[in-house]
A and B are shown apart, each in its own frame.
Chain A
Amino acid sequence: MIINIYTLIMLFVAFLSLFLGVFLFYATIKMLLGFKPTVPLETKNTYEQAGYLVFLTACVILSVRMLAWPWFYFMLQSFVPEVPGAMCMFGVTQILPFTVTFLQIIKPISFFIMGGWLLCYSVDKAVPTSPLIRRNLYFLLIACIVLLIDSITDISYVLRMKPLMSVSCCATFFDVPLRPSAMIPLAVFGKHFQEILFVLYYLINIFLVILLFVMLSKKWLFFTAFTRKIILSGLTVAGVFNVPVVIYAFIENIVPRLMQLPYHHCIYCFMGKGVVPDAPIILGLFVIGTFAIGWVGILRMLCIQAETQSITEHLIKKINGLSIFCLLASLVMVTIHLLFT
């Protein structure tokens, strides 16, 4: 194990979320099993207090757990000087590669699910009768499972991480002609994939921003249910399609240009080396902008009821606004770098 401030904080958060996650899981199942739509007046106070404790714990632990995702990359960056041969985070990921890959997949998933749950809970909390409590408890169970898997893997990774082997430089993976980030788009788009990816990056992001603006405009209220469904489906499809396009466009086009290293495609160097100081902000804005589209979908799926309709609609508008801002800001920041660097 490498001991530094990053691993100690990571371990503390992981152990804390593991213990509280187990409690939360147990308490949620207990609440679900004893759930009654109407509660007698004499037991109402105890029931409310138990629910309050469960949801308060969930809010705290899920919020803290969401921060573990960026913290994980800070921790990986702190390992770079310790690992022989590592020049950036990529080298660190060569030690315990399966665990790191798993963590890099589970962390965005847990961030998305936990964010979605917090939003659903905020809708439920805003209505005095708490009409979504049962759905929220089921959703919390899923969030707890992800939280427990994430925490256990974090603990396992930090404890087993030993920089005993020499690793290769990122250039041997990211800069070879047969790199996956080039081969997959090459197979899909053909020889001129870099130009196509670059154009697609702008087109899809602008399309998403326009759709989100349409949903915020007053005209949205006058659209028929069918038109709304088409726009929402378009938004979801474009949002999902945008993720691989942005990842490949960054690795193939944007990262080398922004780093001023035209043959170097390493996204870890871009994120962590400080060559482009605002790179984490650019990536963070894109992630939140994209996840916000998904969170709106979750709210529409789980929280639209007669009692909660107005509150949910109001929250959806706010999240749409956040999504517009994040996607637009990320796009503008990339453009400024491309034009002026």
Chain B
Amino acid sequence: MKNKLWVGLVISIAVAFIGVTYQKFLKNPHCAFDGSAVPPIYEVDIVLKDHSVKRFCSIYCAVQWFKKNNQRIDHVLVTDEIRGTKLDSYIAYFVKSELITNETNKNRIHVFQQRQDALTHAEKFRGEITDDPFTIDD
């Protein structure tokens, strides 16, 4: 029985590691700007005119890439930090606060679907609502 228990435990550990690997490396793509893993909660998708998609790990990386390639861009999808849902950047609320989302690039811009969530975050982390960083100046 002990042998069966150990075999079973080893199998479940292997399954858990497969799950972690899937979450970290397979499901989460790598940032098209700095190559790091893209956390689902901060994912930014830039949809190009040829319908291909570039994924980014933070608003900072997406903005850097956006500035250099804005002629090719169709629209930008950002992720609501509360629900994890993707929405067009035009309808999202952006908050610049003291809370850092990415230690590598010190991104401080947060995305929310609901205005109330944005205000709550701004109050909690001493931030303020900012403009959509993905607007193209005419």
Report the number of A-B residue pairs with Cβ-Cβ less than 8 Å. Answer: 77
Are A171 and B82 in contact, CB atoms less than 8 angstroms apart?
yes
Bound Cα distance from A70 to B81, whole angstroms: 31
Contact A329 B82 (CB under 8 A): no
* Interface hits, B1-43 → A, CB 8 Å: 1, 4-5, 8-9, 12-13, 15-20, 22-24, 27, 39-41
Pairwise interchain contact A175-B20, C-beta atoms closer than 8 A: no
Q: Is A278's CB within 8 Å of the partner chain B?
A: yes
CB-CB under 8 A for A337 and B84, given A261-B41, A285-B12, A329-B9? no
Which residue of the partner chain A has the closest CB to B12? A329
B135 at the A/B interface (Cβ < 8 Å)?
A: no
Chain A residues lying within 8 Å of B22, measured Cβ to Cβ, are: 277
Instruction: Tell me if A263 and B81 are in contact (CB < 8 A).
Output: yes
Per the 8 Å Cβ criterion, residues 258-275 of A in contact with B are 259-264, 275
Write out the residue numbers on chain B whose beta carbons fall within 8 Å of the beta carbon of A264.
82-84
State in angstroms the CA–CA spacing of A301 and B83 once bound together: 47
With A261-B41, A278-B15, A325-B8 as known contacts, state yes or no: A337 contacts B83, CB within 8 Å: no
**Cβ contact of B5, chosen from A171, A175, A261, A324, cutoff 8 A:** A324
Residue in B closest to A334 when the chains form the complex, CB atoms? B16
CB interface residues, A 285-340, toward B, < 8 Å: 285, 317-318, 321, 324-325, 328-329, 332-333, 336-337, 340
The smallest C-beta distance from B12 to any residue of chain A, in angstroms, reads: 4
Which residues from chain A contact B27 at a C-beta distance below 8 Å? 275
Q: Quick one: CB contact mask for B45-84 with A, threshold 8 Å, 1 for yes?
A: 0000000000000000000000000000000000001111
Chain A residues with CB below 8 A from B40, complex form: 259-261, 275
- B85 within 8 Å of A by Cβ? yes
A336, B17: Cβ atoms under 8 Å? yes
Contact A328 B83 (CB under 8 A): no
| Residue A62 lies at the interface, judged by CB distance under 8 Å to chain B | no
> Provided the pairs A264-B82, A264-B84 are in contact, do residues A278 and B18 lie with their beta carbons within 8 angstroms?
yes
Interface centre among B5, B39, B40, B83 (most CB of A within 10 A): B83
Nearest B residue to A273, CB-CB: B84
CB proximity to A under 8 Å, residues B80-123: 81-85
Whether the Cβ atoms of B83 and A281 lie closer than 8 Å is no
- Decide yes or no whether A46 CB sits under 8 A from chain B: no
Residues of A within 8 A of B16 (CB): 278, 332-333, 336-337
B22 to chain A, nearest CB (A): 5
Residue A169 at the B interface, CB < 8 A?
yes
Residues of A within 8 A of B82 (CB): 171, 175, 263-264
Q: When the two chains form their complex, are residues B15 and A171 in contact, meaning their CB atoms are under 8 A apart?
A: no
20 sampled A-B residue pairs with Cβ under 8 A: A169-B83, A169-B85, A259-B84, A260-B40, A261-B84, A262-B41, A275-B27, A276-B19, A277-B19, A278-B19, A285-B12, A325-B4, A325-B5, A329-B12, A333-B19, A336-B16, A336-B17, A336-B20, A337-B20, A340-B20
> Which residues does B use to contact A, with CB under 8 Å?
1, 4-5, 8-9, 12-13, 15-20, 22-24, 27, 39-41, 81-85
Q: Which A residues have a C-beta under 8 Å from some C-beta of B?
A: 87, 169, 171, 175, 216, 259-264, 275-278, 281, 285, 317-318, 321, 324-325, 328-329, 332-333, 336-337, 340-341
Give the top 9 A-B pairs by smallest Cβ distance, nearest first: A329-B12, A278-B19, A336-B16, A333-B16, A171-B83, A340-B20, A261-B84, A263-B82, A325-B8
